[in-house]
Chains A and B, each alone.
Chain A
Amino acid sequence: MHALHPAGAEPAAGSAGSASAKTSPGASSPGPSAASPGTGGSPAGAGQQRSEPLADGKTVLGPDEISRALTRVAHEILERTNGGSDVVLLGIPTRGVPLARRLAARLTQVEGRPAPAGSLDITMYRDDLRLRPARTLGHTAVPASGIDGRTVILVDDVLYSGRTIRAALDALGDLGRPRAVQLAVLVDRGHRELPIRADYVGKNLPTSQREVVQVLLTETDGEDAVVLGLSPAGGPAVTEAGR
Chain B
Amino acid sequence: MKRHLISAADLSRDDALLILDTADELAQMADRPIRKLPTLRGRTVVNLFYEDSTRTRISFEAAAKRLSADVINFSAKGSSVAKGESLKDTALTLEAMGADAVVIRHPASGAPHRLAGWVRGSVVNAGDGTHEHPTQALLDAFTMRRRLGRLEGLRVTIVGDVLHSRVARSNVLLLQTLGADVTLVAPPTLLPVAVSSWPCEVSYDLSAVLPKTDVVMMLRVQAERMNAAYFPTVREYSRRYGLDGARMALLPEHAIVMHPGPMNRGVEIAAEVADSPRSTIVEQVANGVSVRMAVLYLLLGGSDPAGDPGGDPAGIERPVSDLAAALTAEVTR
Contacts and interface: CB of A to CB of B under 8 A. Distances in A.
The reply to whether chain A is a binding partner of chain B is yes
A156 B238 CA distance: 59
B32 interface: yes
Tell me the dominant secondary structure on chain A's binding face: loop
B202 interface: no
A179 B300 CA distance: 35
Given A140-B28, A176-B33, A135 B39 contact: no
B39 A121 contact: no
Chain B interface size, under 10 / 10 to 19 / 20 to 34 / 35 or more: 20 to 34
Contacts of A132: 302-303
B22 A137 contact: yes
A129 B37 contact: no
A175 B38 contact: no
Instruction: Tell me which of B18, B21, B34, B38 has the highest count of chain A C-beta atoms within 10 A of its own C-beta.
Output: B38
Contacts of B32: 174-175
Nearest to A127: B38
B38 A133 contact: no
Interface string A62-84: 00000000000000000000000
A134 B307 contact: no
Contacts of B39: 124-125, 129
B297 A134 contact: yes
Nearest to A171: B37
Nearest to A175: B32
A242 to B, nearest CB: 8
A119 to B, nearest CB: 11
Contacts of B34: 173-175
A2 interface: no
A129 B28 contact: no
A85 B121 CA distance: 51
Contacts of A136: 18, 21-22
Contact of A140 (B21, B22, B25): B25
B13 interface: no
Interface of A: 121, 124-125, 129-140, 170, 173-176, 243
Closest 7 CB pairs of A and B: A134-B302, A133-B302, A134-B301, A174-B34, A137-B25, A124-B39, A124-B37
10 contacts: A130-B302, A132-B303, A133-B302, A134-B297, A136-B21, A138-B25, A173-B34, A174-B37, A175-B33, A176-B33
